[in-house]
Each structure stands twice: as structure tokens, then as C-alpha cells.
Chain A
């Protein structure tokens, strides 16, 4: 039997799986309004293809993938587009983002299904089909899967393809139920991925607290050669790098990806959507989501993307008394929502209504006593304490020296900290600051180049003008007679001064008489065009008309 290679650290969390995994997946009711965000994935926001008033069919593409790292978005049901505007989306900031709002007609009119024979397609065509079906990682990160299914340039040959069914967060059970009920579909999707990646072996990692799921998957895998590997229940075994280590013993390099060591990893639910897209021609328009915690009847729902969280909670019988916070994702890695009027997205695997009992009580933060408990539990083998000191002191360079970006924000360190220091918050803050500084730097560099280009252009124009004046000067005989060298110089200076912008005071006094202004602009020499260079200025009027 296969060997496991335990990763460092991790936590035994209190499990809350039975609250929601006792009942089959229920179909959520079709809501009247669906708010479909155009950014449900990592990468560029999808380009809207519809506008208010358009009629859309179920499964019709409403947002097109924009660039390589992007994913398409589809209408979850048929109806009329009510608006394409910014609406609140599930995000820790609570800020709105561009969404397509669909007024559903209740008819569920599908587009024509176009199942494809994946064995007959060229790999790049197959990846395009998946890209256009809007397939992204459904484990929570929502990274476009088509990108991960392309090995060219990243890895010569893939050793291992891992299907991630670990589901290590204490409250989430959507993958558990999906594997129990739709194991064949998941394996069918896995076959498509295998066809694209041609790995030496396929491993399916499932935590051993899900015996039914393990049994169902093992049965579905019979005869395929895929191996189901039960793994010990230890948070965060579902994190990519930790799972890769656990199953293959390979360490993913710092700032690298599992593909660098010949391993690729997909979530179980992602494989299922691949199956739906290839064998049924259905794009990603719904997902299974766990609604749990302090609601009357927790459970798993297959809901259309764009269904509001409030609707889903309603279908669970509503909130129970004492709900303090609504969390998307698990309690360890999820984030608190500002409102329940936000739509379900591809990344939303769990809605947790947390009461005081589920939340760790807010305890006063005490100074770090350097006990090292955080180091013992860190699954990424970091020194959380050092990271904390440097992040707190805003010494971002030093934090990066301690591999801040290897932190997976699993929350183990915060959970065990006896001083209740919100360690992960410090790391998130530091990471965000570093990214922001990076962006600022790029912007500054762009501004520097543009300024440089402008200075060069002004210099060139000045010289051209001077050259022109020098040519004209001898022709004017009267002036030429008088002109000493100093005289010419004065002339040029005067001309240059004339061409230069007038001080604001003189112009504003002229502004009242419209004519002088017109007169001025008529004289304005070769206008600067935004892109620099000597092109003719292009009037904007044509654009306005269009």
C-alpha cells in the first residue's frame, strides 16, 4: 500500500461535518433575480457580452474571458438582462463589482447542448472548450483551470495528477456530498484531465473522516487505475502544497508551483464541472454550496450562481437566534461578509452563519511571549513569529526574507497563539502593502517615461521652430538690415515666449472675450498629442459623434 509523507505542523480541528452532511444535495429554488458577477475568478474580469434589455438563454455566455488568465461567465437561467452595473459581491472589502443582473422568466430555456468527444479534439481546442465553459477551481481560489491544464513550458512530463477531495475546513461538506452522490461524474471529468495532462499516476486524496465518499470514489474508480488515498484528518491537508507533500513526498519550491515538481492538483468539484462541460455541453452555471452553522436546517444545495446568500439561508429555514457573523468559506480561511445580499459565486463553497459559540471569543491581544507555538503548527515551515515582528514594524523587505509569500494564510498560527495575536491579519496586510508598492512603482516608471518623452519632444519642437525662424529671418530684408546677432536672438526668444503658454492670469482675463481665446488656440503650434511624437492632433469631435 502507498506511503504517506506527513507535512509539518497542522492542527486537529473540532469537526462540524455532521451538521450538514447527513442529507443529500438539494436543488435550490430558482430565484426571481440573479446577480452574476463578471469577476468570479482570479485574473482579468470577463468582458460583458450583453446589455440591459437583452434576452438570454440558460447557459448563454454573458461574459467573455479577457486575456489568458480569465474565465467566461454564463447566464444561470433564461430571462431578461435587467442591468449590467456594479453590485455588492462577496468580498472581504464589501465593495461592489460589475455584475449582470438577470430577471429570470422561470422557463429555464437552455441553449443547445453541444457535448464534445474529448478524445477526438486537439488538446488546445479542448482547453478552449473548457475555457469557454467558464471552468475555474471550485475549491475556493477560482483559478482558471484551462491554464493549469496546459503544461507547455512549465513541465516536460507530469508525474502525478492529484484530485483534491480532502476538504479539511471543519464546517464544509459540499465536496463530501458531491463525491458520495456523483462519483461517476467526477471520475469522468478526471478522465478528461488525464487525457490532457497524461500523468504517470492519478491520486485522489480524501480525508479519512469521509468514509462514504472514499467508498463511493473507490467504486467509481474501479478499472481506471486511479488510486483513492485516504489521508489523515489534519487541517490544512486540503491546501495544495501540503496535499502534494502528503501524497507524493515532493516539496513545492518556494515561490514555485506544484507543476514545477511534476504534480498538478484539481478540486473534486472542478472535475465534476469538467464532466458537465464536456459530456453534457453545460457551462458552469451552478455549484454545490454548504449552508451551515446557526441556521435552522443546515445542508448542501446545488444553487445557480448569482442566487443571493439571503435566499439560500431562507431555504435552510432562516437564521437561528444569536448569529453574529456571516462567513464565506470556512472559519479558518474564510472571510466575514458585510451583508447577506451578495450573490453566490464560483468560489463560494460554504456559507457559515456563525454565532458566538462558533467564533473564537474576541480576547484581548497580549504581547508576544515568543513561545514558538506558531512555529510548531505552521504547515508551510515558516517562522510566523519573525514574520509577525517584521509585518508589525512594516519592514516588508525583512518579512520577504522570511518567505512571507509562502504563507498560505491557513490560520493555524493565529488559532494556537496564547496571546491571541491576529497573526494572519498582519501577513495579509504586509502582502497587500507589498503588492500595492509594486504597482505604484510600475505606475511611477510609466510616468517617468512619459515625462521624459515629453521633455524630448518639447526640446525637438523648440529646435525646429528656431530653425524655421532662422530660415525666415534673412528673407525679411528690412529686419535683416537692422539685425545684429543679438537682435535675432531676441526675436527668437520673443517668438518662443509667444508660443509658450501664457501665464494663467493674462489668459483668464482674456477668457471673457471669447475671440482672443480662439485667436490663441488658432496660433497654438503643433499640439502635443497624448502619445508624444509629431502626429497631427486628431480632433475629438468624431469620437464624440460616434
Chain B
């Protein structure tokens, strides 16, 4: 009995990691499989990677994904940073109301956000497509930026902004040369988080775009209905690695700023 418990004690974490990462490793290995079969190894090849970059629909989707992520990141970082500074300078009560409102969308299931945005666009008669998907991404990115900038503002001496004004800085100068540099770490973390979330999103994108404009996640989803092409293995492998790198950077930054 104690032997078994000791065994589990030692290997429990190992099991979890194996179950988490083995599928991904299989996927990456498969992406280098020369054959089309998923059951048989037919030799190492970059064939599917070549196919991947030749595929117009995948390349279009990749372009949509990346441009949406970059634009959403930039816009939501600006909006989120300004919002955080605005909320920070509110009175205590208003501040806590605003922070609750900021947290709420993050706790909401994506599908609720997705459907509600879809209904909004239908209701306002805005044709769904690239623009509406971008708006949706900005919408769900912004609270995360606020949440990463806010702690930086709170750590700051509460008179820092006043000190800048006192020394002759106009409010605009104080914002650009004191407040924003003071919370730069939080802003960069927020931006990276926004980019990652946007890159990663499927549910909200699915409801807010049209079938004509697809990003990678919606494209893969529709592709699965026809059976998965091995090119998608290659694509998934690349996405996994890109996101992994980004997450490592974000984690490192948050650790540093603590």
C-alpha cells in the first residue's frame, strides 16, 4: 500500500505533464511525417510545411490572425492604459465600481461575450467581417490591459503626478513623461497579454466574423468538418511554438515587475 502511495507521490506530477504535453508532442512529430496517415510513420519531411505556406486560405487566415492581433493589441493597450489612469484618479467608491465592471467581462464565458457581440452587430446592422472581429478583439483585450496597468499605478507614490505638475509639467507632459514611464512594465505586459489572447481566441472570433473572413482558429474549426489535413498539424505546431515563446516572455516580465 505504502509502496503504491510512494509511487504516486513521485510520479503524480509526471503523469499530469505527460497527459498535457504528449498530445502536443505527437502533433509536432506528425507534422514532420512524410505520409498522410496519422497511424504510420513514413519518414521525416518538411512536405506539410511547404504545403502550408502554399495554401492560399491558410496564408490569408494567418494574415487576418496576425493583423487583428497586432491592431487589437495597439488599440487596446492605448485604451486600457488611459482607462487605468482614469480609473486610478477616481474616488474610491467609483474606482471599485469601475474595477468590478472591468473584471466582469473576464469572468464571463467567451461564448456569452461572443454571442452578445454578434447580437449587437446584428442589431446595429453592421455587416460582420474583419472589422467587427477586430472590434470584438479590442473589446475583450482592453480589460486585461487595465488589469495589468492598474497595479503599477497603485504601487506609485500617490503624489508622483502632482509632483510633475508642481515642477511645471502640463498634464499632457506629466502623462507622457511621468505616468506612462512609471507603469511601462505593466503596459508592456498588458500589450503582450492582449496579443496572446487575440492570437488564441476562437469562440469570440467565430461569432463576430463572416465565413468569408477567417482567422486561423475559425479556419481550422471549419477544416475539421472535412477531416484534418496534415498541413494543419504543421500550422498548429508553429502556433504552439509562437505562443509558447510569447508566454515565456510575459511570465518573465511579470516576475521581474513583482
Partners in one complex: no
